[in-house]
Homo-oligomer: A and B are copies of this chain.
Amino acid sequence: MEFHYPNGKKYNPSQQQIAKKGHSKPIRYGNRGMTLEEDLNLTNQYYLEIGHAVIHKKPTPIQIVQVDYPARSAAVIKEAYFKQPSTTDYNGVYKGRYIDFEAKETKNLHSFPLQNFHEHQIRHMIQVEQQKGISFVIIRFTTTDEVFLLPSQHLFRFWERMKNGGRKSIKKEEIENYGKTIPIKYQPRIDYLEVVDILYHSYF
C-alpha cells in the first residue's frame, strides 16, 4: 500500500482535484499502482455523478502512534504506520447488490504474479462470495494497457493451485479465458460495471 503514497514528497491535493474532476489525465507519479487507482477513482466518480453506482475506494488503514493537538489548530498525526488492509480496496452498491473488488497491475507480458494478493484478502473475498456479494479483481497489464475483470471464484482456483505447489502466477491466457476484457473509454475510463452486467446478470 505504501506505493500509493508520495515518497516523502509533499502531498499535492490540487493535482488530485484536477484528476478527480476529470478535466485532465490523471497525474502520473511514475507509479503504476497510482495510475490504475486514479483511473478507477475517475470511473467511480463518474458512476456516482450519473447515479449509476456508489462505489468508493477505502482509505488506507493507518496505525496511529502519536497525535499532537496544537492549541487552536487541527490535530496533527506525528507518528503513524501503514497497516496491511484486512479487506479489498473497493466496495459499494450497484442496483442493490454489494460490489467488492481489488485492483492490481503488472508490468509482466504473459502472466500475473499471485504474490500481489495477501492471504487475508483472499479470505475476505471468500467471505464476500459466501454472502452472495459480487467479488472480483481488476487486473491491468500495464505494458499492453489491457484491463481484465476476473471473478473471484476463478482467482480462488489459481490461488489453491499455488498453495498446492503449482505455479505462482496466473497465465494471461487463463485470465482471458476465465475473465473478461474491460473496455477502456474516455468516460468512464474503466467501465467495469458493463462487464459486471454481463458476467453477473443472474444477480440482478
* Interface of A toward B, CB cutoff 8 Å: 2, 5-8, 10-11, 13, 48, 51, 53-54, 56, 58-69, 74-83, 85-87, 91-100, 124, 127-128, 130-133, 203
Contacts and interface: CB of A to CB of B under 8 A. Distances in A.
Contact of A96 (B54, B69, B132): B132
A161 B99 CA distance: 33
Given A77-B82, A93-B128, A133-B96, A5 B54 contact: no
Given A8-B69, A96-B97, 18 more contacts: A2-B75, A5-B75, A8-B67, A8-B68, A10-B66, A11-B66, A48-B127, A54-B124, A54-B130, A58-B59, A59-B61, A59-B85, A62-B80, A74-B81, A76-B80, A93-B133, A96-B132, A97-B97
A141 B23 CA distance: 46
A77 B79 contact: yes
Contacts of A11: 63-66
26 contacts: A2-B69, A6-B64, A6-B67, A7-B69, A8-B67, A10-B65, A51-B127, A53-B131, A56-B86, A59-B62, A60-B62, A62-B77, A74-B82, A76-B80, A77-B81, A77-B82, A78-B79, A91-B91, A91-B92, A93-B98, A93-B131, A93-B133, A96-B97, A96-B98, A97-B97, A97-B98
Contact of A54 (B7, B8, B82, B133): B133
Contacts of A51: 127, 130
Most buried by B among A48, A64, A87, A124: A64
Nearest to A66: B8
B75 A131 contact: no
Contacts of A68: 8
Contacts of A48: 127
A190 to B, nearest CB: 19
A83 B11 CA distance: 13
